[in-house]
């Protein structure tokens, strides 16, 4: 089974969120099951830099597109084959793949990511004379337009569109203003798609062109990154205006949820080279060395009895971190500690930084993202906060389970599919793995926090839950088998 994954991020070379982790692991897991999975990605600076260490980089071809002359390179890295779109005018820029260094979206993103989808279709049509995919799996809005190109060109490959987060619809004006040209041009005409695709039965979404809708509407099958999220997005509350279309997809058997996995070669406390002390469920006492190291690193009060809560997250309303802010005074009063790593909305960043200044012995805040620090935090903390208002899958709670750092989550999306609450019944059945609350209210959140303090005071039960959490298997093999079964059915 030949599969082309179309994406904008790839761990370990370029990461702004969980999408990169998925692309870094899923193709490899599929290949271990006998598939031939490859990746198509723009040659962003971080990608090119990482390719200096690649096993092999060959120029495949140079050809003209609606965006000018493009070179396509083939590379191999860590046993995975990649196609790199070399278009320096569009991709050789500072900042993230989507924004400049001031967090402003690039004004030509409509062209930059249309080019990604266009090249995916060209590969499906046989651009590489040595390899041609049977399945094109496009990931999130950045690649969604690939499904429209495939439909327009007679579906040379079956298409799967994976929604990692429906909150980002990838919308652009119908008319596009090119640099130096005052008169607007039809976006669809500019990127080589027919005008009749701009329709409610097509790409049109509230008067704009939506690349995410392109994926949802034109794909042969739509997946999301957890079963619960697949159901939630069919409702008006979570559907973001796409719920009617998604209900139709579900009714036609074209929508399913496959829970993301974890690469345990990267995220395993038994072998993690980024943490102070390795440990496992059999020698949990060693985890305390990581806790002490974390407290020491951030000048927190060195106290093994203090319950350390952690946040490793994008700082946004979606993630429910305003609840953490509101609950912090009570956590501090109960002698708890908080270590936060993240970046995002300015008001949240500022609020967390200010409270860290007031309580430097109990609160530590790092604005930004540091992969090694994320490992140290998850290994050293006792509880991980993920109080999201909605969460397609979530990966940090999967990591924390393996590290015996009990997740405290809201029952939504992939959080609901991966964390089992420490209710009396679940504790008795030895299946509890964390703390789950229902409503996105401060009252429910604080009640879950109080339950974590109560369990923390019962060392035997706490270790029981830790061991249960660490034994749960969320490896990519299970997810890859589900994807491969889907691909074969198409």
Query: Does the pLDDT of residue 407 top 70, yes or no?
Result: yes
Question: 189-208, pLDDT tens digit by residue?
Answer: 999 999 999 999 999 999 99
218 lies in the same domain as 292: no
What's 343's domain CATH number? 3.40.50.2000
451 lies in the same domain as 382: yes
* 77 vs 396, higher pLDDT: 396
Quote the domain boundaries for residue 133.
2-261+477-489
* pLDDT at position 79: 83
* Residue 63 confidence class, pLDDT cut points 50, 70, 90: confident
Residue 267 included in any domain: no
Question: 141-157, pLDDT tens digit by residue?
Answer: 999 999 999 999 999 99
Question: 329-361, pLDDT tens digit by residue?
Answer: 999 999 999 999 999 999 999 999 999 999 999
Query: Does the pLDDT of residue 55 top 60, yes or no?
Result: no
Q: Using CA atoms, how far apart are residues 310 and 159, in angstroms rounded to an integer? A: 39
Query: Does the pLDDT of residue 160 top 60, yes or no?
Result: yes
Residue 357 included in any domain: yes
454 lies in the same domain as 482: no
304 lies in the same domain as 369: yes
Q: Which of 7-16, 97-106, 161-170, 340-349 has the lowest mean pLDDT?
A: 97-106
Give the residue ranges of the annotated binding site for ADP-alpha-D-glucose: 15
Query: Does the pLDDT of residue 286 top 90, yes or no?
Result: yes
12 preceded by a cis bond (ω within 30 of 0):
yes
350 lies in the same domain as 229: no
Residue 272 included in any domain: no
Query: Does the pLDDT of residue 182 top 60, yes or no?
Result: no
Residue 266 included in any domain: no
Query: Does the pLDDT of residue 180 top 80, yes or no?
Result: no
Residue 205 included in any domain: yes
Residue 48 included in any domain: yes
Question: 433-443, pLDDT tens digit by residue?
Answer: 999 999 999 99
* pLDDT at position 146: 98
Query: Does the pLDDT of residue 396 top 60, yes or no?
Result: yes
Q: Which of 91-95, 134-138, 407-411 has the lowest mean pLDDT?
A: 91-95
* pLDDT at position 18: 86
CB 143 within 8 A of CB 117: yes
93 lies in the same domain as 225: yes
* Residue 185 confidence class, pLDDT cut points 50, 70, 90: confident
Residue 239 included in any domain: yes
74 lies in the same domain as 202: yes
Query: Does the pLDDT of residue 316 top 80, yes or no?
Result: yes
* 17 vs 417, higher pLDDT: 417
Give Rg (Cα) of the chain.
23
* pLDDT at position 49: 86
Total of domains in the chain: 2
* Residue 53 confidence class, pLDDT cut points 50, 70, 90: low
289 lies in the same domain as 240: no
300 lies in the same domain as 395: yes
Question: 99-140, pLDDT tens digit by residue?
Answer: 988 888 999 999 999 999 999 999 999 999 899 999 999 999
Q: What is the pTM of this model?
A: 0.92
Give the residue ranges of the annotated binding site: 15
34 lies in the same domain as 48: yes
370 lies in the same domain as 355: yes
Query: Does the pLDDT of residue 181 top 70, yes or no?
Result: no
Query: Does the pLDDT of residue 401 top 90, yes or no?
Result: yes
* Residue 89 confidence class, pLDDT cut points 50, 70, 90: very high
Residue 274 included in any domain: no
Q: Using CA atoms, how far apart are residues 357 and 352, in angstroms rounded to an integer? A: 9
* Residue 187 phi, psi (nearest 5): -60, -45
Q: Using CA atoms, how far apart are residues 106 and 63, in angstroms rounded to an integer? A: 24
451 lies in the same domain as 484: no
């Amino acid at each position: 089974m030949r599969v082309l994954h179309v994406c904008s991020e790839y761990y370990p070379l370029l990461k702004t969120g969980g999408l990169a982790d998925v692309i870094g692991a899923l193709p490899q897991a599929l290949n271990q099951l006998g598939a031939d999975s490859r990746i198509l990605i723009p040659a962003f600076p971080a990608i090119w830099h990482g390719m200096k260490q690649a096993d092999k980089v060959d120029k495949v071809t140079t050809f003209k597109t609606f965006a000018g002359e493009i070179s396509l390179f083939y590379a191999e890295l860590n046993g995975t084959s990649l196609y790199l779109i070399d278009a320096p005018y569009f991709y050789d820029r500072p900042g993230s793949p989507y924004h400049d260094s001031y967090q402003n979206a690039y004004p030509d993103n409509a062209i930059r990511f249309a080019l990604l989808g266009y090249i995916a279709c060209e590969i499906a049509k046989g651009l590489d004379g040595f390899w041609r995919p049977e399945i094109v799996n496009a990931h999130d809005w950045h690649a969604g337009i690939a499904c429209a190109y495939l439909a327009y060109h007679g579906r040379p490959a079956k298409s799967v569109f994976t929604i990692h987060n429906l909150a980002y619809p990838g919308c652009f004006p119908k008319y596009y203003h090119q640099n130096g040209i005052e008169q607007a041009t039809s976006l669809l005409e500019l990127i080589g798609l027919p005008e009749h695709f701009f329709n409610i039965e097509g790409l049109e979404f509230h008067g704009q062109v939506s690349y995410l809708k392109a994926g949802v509407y034109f794909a042969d099958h739509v997946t999301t990154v957890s079963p619960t999220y697949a159901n939630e997005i069919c409702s008006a509350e979570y559907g973001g205006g796409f719920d009617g279309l998604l209900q139709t997809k579900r009714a036609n058997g074209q929508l399913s949820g496959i829970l993301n996995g974890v690469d345990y070669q990267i995220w395993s406390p038994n072998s993690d080279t980024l943490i102070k002390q390795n440990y496992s469920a059999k020698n949990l006492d060693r985890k305390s060395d990581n806790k002490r190291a974390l407290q020491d690193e951030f000048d927190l009060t060195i106290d093994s009895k203090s319950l350390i809560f952690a946040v490793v997250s994008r700082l946004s309303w979606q993630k429910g971190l305003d609840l953490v802010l509101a609950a912090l005074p009570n956590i501090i009063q109960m002698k708890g500690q908080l270590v936060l790593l993240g970046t995002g909305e300015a008001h949240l960043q500022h609020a967390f930084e200010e409270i860290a200044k007031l309580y430097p012995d109990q609160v530590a805040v790092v604005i930004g993202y540091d992969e090694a620090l994320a490992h140290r935090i998850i290994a050293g903390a006792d509880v991980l906060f993920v109080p999201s208002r909605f969460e397609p899958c979530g990966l940090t709670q999967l990591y924390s389970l393996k590290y015996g750092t009990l997740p405290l989550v809201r029952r939504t999306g992939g959080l609901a599919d991966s964390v089992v609450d420490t209710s009396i019944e679940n504790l008795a059945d030895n299946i509890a793995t964390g703390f789950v609350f229902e409503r996105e209210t401060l009252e429910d959140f604080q009640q879950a926090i109080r339950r974590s303090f109560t369990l923390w005071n019962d060392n035997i039960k706490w270790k029981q839950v830790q061991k249960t959490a660490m034994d749960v298997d969320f490896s990519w093999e299970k997810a890859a088998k589900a994807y491969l079964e889907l691909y074969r059915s198409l």
